[in-house]
Structures are given as structure tokens and as C-alpha cells.
Structure 1
Amino acid sequence: MKRLTLLRHAKSGWDDPVARDFDRPLNGRGRRGARLMGMHMRDLGLRYDLVIASPAVRVVETLDGLWEGYGRSIHAELDKRIYLASAATLLDVIQEAPDSADTILLSGHNPGMEDLVLMLVPDRIEDEARDRVEEKFPTAALAEITFDVAHWTEVKAGGGQLTRFIRPRDLDPALGPDAHA
């Protein structure tokens, strides 16, 4: 059994004057959302053998906030292929993961993260969590998918089961779409 958790970066600041999109930092709401998600992950007892992330500033800052809320930090392997990657590229990264890691946290960007969930989890009737992902995979949201496989190379389209989907607004309505930075 393999467990993959996808975490989209938290809300970034569009008001900050940066030369490149890659360098865009989190805003206040994003920092709050990342910390809250980290506290929730700690409360759920989630643990990871491997963390792989985009090296973009907003992803690195998301993980910093996440670990602050979680209460301890975990080293992340930064992989530039994840920056604005398609679902197919993200799947390549996952399939290359070492089998010694049974639980992986992958942190990156949309639309690739949302597309990856929809690719990996079959569309079944009455799957409320998948329907919410299809509606929107918002910033700082977390999707956990399990696979009944022994090797990451066996992870394929339609082969996963979405076991949880948590949005920041599920934890604090002030972090919802109508809230302001």
C-alpha cells in the first residue's frame, strides 16, 4: 500500500513586486492557511517518509508554515520539474520515487495538482470528495490518495482512492474564497 498526499501551495501575494512568478511569496492569509493545515495534519497523525516539492518561493514558504503548525520540520527534496508541472510530469516524479517511501507528500501548483487527482482517482457516482476537487483545488488544500500497489512505478491513472480532501476553509471559514488577504 502506498499513500500520496498532494498539497497545493498556500495563497500567494500578487501585490508583491517580483520580477519572476517563481519568486512570488505567500501573503498573510497564505501563511495562516499553511500553519493551520500543518496543525491539522499533526492532529490527524499524518507522517511522511518523503517530501518532494517545487522550489518556487511560495511552495517553500508554504512548507515552512506547514512545519511551524505541525511542530517539526521534515526535509523536502526540491524538484524543479514540479514548478507549474502538468499532471503527466507530476506522475513521472511520483513513479520515480523510491519504494522505501510508503508515504509521500508532494507540494506544488495548479492546475497540475488538481488534474493529477482527477487523473489518479476514478470518477465514481457519489464521490463527494472527488467532486469537490473537480470543483476547485484551492490554495493550501490537501488531497490524500491511497494505492493498493507495492511500487510507485505501479501508480497509474484511475488506480487510486481519494481518502481525504481538506481545504483551509473546512478548518477556518475565514480562509475561504470570500475572505480577504
Structure 2
Amino acid sequence: MSVAEPRRIVLFRHAKADWPEVNDHERPLAERGRKDAPEAGLRLADTGIPFDLALCSTAARTRETWKLAVHELPHRPRTVYEERLYEASPGELIAVLNETPDDVRSALLIGHNPGVQGLAEVLSGGSEGDARQRMGSRGFPTAAFAVLSFTGSWKSLEPGAATLLDYWAPSE
């Protein structure tokens, strides 16, 4: 793939988690999360993006979100479970994305707030349509995702380098 072709990044926050008496990393999805994750998967499929790679936090709620969402996609991308995505800052998330091989055209990152929302805001140097307004008014609730595009190598991904193309969040 040429680095001049646009690349896509989808930043996907895990679905609603429960609060049982377990450590934060092991929190499972709540009933609402188990409903919202497949709906988010359908909406991801509607984007028409053929994901080459999914980077998923190792936390239980992100793994469960991905397991429920991926079944709605037309094909399952290669999935890498990455410990560094748990509690990561936008800068740490960019560092992980910078390691993506250049043969990957479209990547999906399944993670946590505030990092995922912060990364969407930091990467978005511009936006199309009302995507930024919708993201700004809704915030980044559980199971929400943002679709961004940029041109260049993954190593060149930096703040302001992408365009926010779309944003979706489940109805409340």
C-alpha cells in the first residue's frame, strides 16, 4: 500500500461495564453493554471499512465488547490484545498506533475513556459534516466510536494529522 492512500482509524470505546466486586481490569459488561456492543458492531459494518487490524485492550470489558461486536462485521480482522491500551493517555495511544505496520490500511482501536475520546479530539485537525458537533454534544459514551482518516505512514500519525469523518453513539 502506498503511504499516499488514505488510512482509516476507528476509535471505539468499550460498551457499558458492570461494577461487581472485582478489580477494574476484570470488570465485565453490564446488561446494557451486552445489548449495545452488537449494535455498535452493526454500525461499524455500516461504515463499509474493511478493517485489517483490531487493537484491543486486555481489560475484560473491552475483550467482551469486541467479541460481541466483531460477529456483526463482514470479515474478522486480525486482532491484537494490547496491554498498553488499558488506562492509556492519548499520547500513549498514538505511540501504539505509530507501531502499526504500513501494510495496514484500516485499524480499529477498542479502548477506554478518557484516552479514546482524548485521542479522537487530539488527532482531529479537521472534520466532515457535523461529526465534530455530534461528538462534542454527546461526549464519548460507552460503545461510541469515531471514524478518522489520515494520509501518510502510521509512524507519521500525530496530533492534528487526521480528519474526523464520522461519529456514532448508541441511543440513551
TM-score where L is the length of structure 1 = 0.85
Q: Is the 8 A contact 2:17 2:30 kept in 1?
A: yes
Over 3 Å counting, the alpha-carbon distance change for 1:112 and 1:8 in structure 2 is same
| Cα RMSD for the two superposed structures | 1.8
If each structure's strand is expressed as a fraction of its own residues, which one has the higher value? 2
Given that residues 90 and 119 in structure 2 are in contact (C-alpha distance below 8 angstroms), is that contact kept between their aligned partners in structure 1? yes
Q: What is the distance in 1 between the residues matched to 2:47 and 2:7?
A: 18
Could you report, residue by residue, the CA deviation over 1:91-128 in whole angstroms, capped at 9, with x for unpaired residues? 0001111001010001100000011111111267x963
Q: Distance in 2 between matches of 1:34 and 1:72?
A: 17
How does 1:18-97 map onto structure 2 within 5 Å?
Answer: 18=22, 20-70=23-73, 73-97=76-100
Q: Secondary structure of 2:93's partner?
A: helix
- Give aligned-pair identity as a percent: 36
Inter-CA distance 44–127: structure 2 relative to 1 (3 Å threshold): closer
From 100, 105, 111, the counterpart of 2:103 = 100
Q: Which residue of 1 aligns with 2:147?
A: 144
1:120-139 alignment runs, 5 A limit:
120-122=123-125, 128-135=130-137, 136-139=139-142
Distance 1:74 1:100 in 2: 13
How far apart in 2 are the matches of 1:123 and 1:46?
A: 20
| Structure 2 runs not aligned, ≥5 long | 1-5
Q: 1:34 touches 1:63 (CA, 8 Å); kept in 2?
A: yes
2:158 — aligned with what?
156
What is the distance in 2 between the residues matched to 1:103 and 1:141? 18
**Structure 1: runs of 5+ lacking an equivalent:** 170-175, 177-181
**Residue in 2 that maps onto 1:2:** 7
Kept in 1, the 8 Å contact 2:25–2:59? The answer is yes
Cα distance in 2 for residues equivalent to 1:123 and 1:2: 15
1:145-174 deviation per Cα after TM superposition (whole angstroms, max 9, x unaligned): 00022x1011111111001101111xxxxx
Q: Which amino acid is 1:36 matched to?
A: E
Structure 1: distance between partners of 2:49 and 2:129: 22
Alpha-carbon contact 1:3-1:104 (below 8 Å) kept: yes
User: How many angstroms does 1:72 deviate by?
Assistant: 5.2
Q: Match for residue 167 of structure 2?
A: 165
**Does the residue aligned with 2:167 lie in a helix, a strand or coil?**
strand
In structure 2, the residue corresponding to 1:47 is in which secondary structure?
A: coil
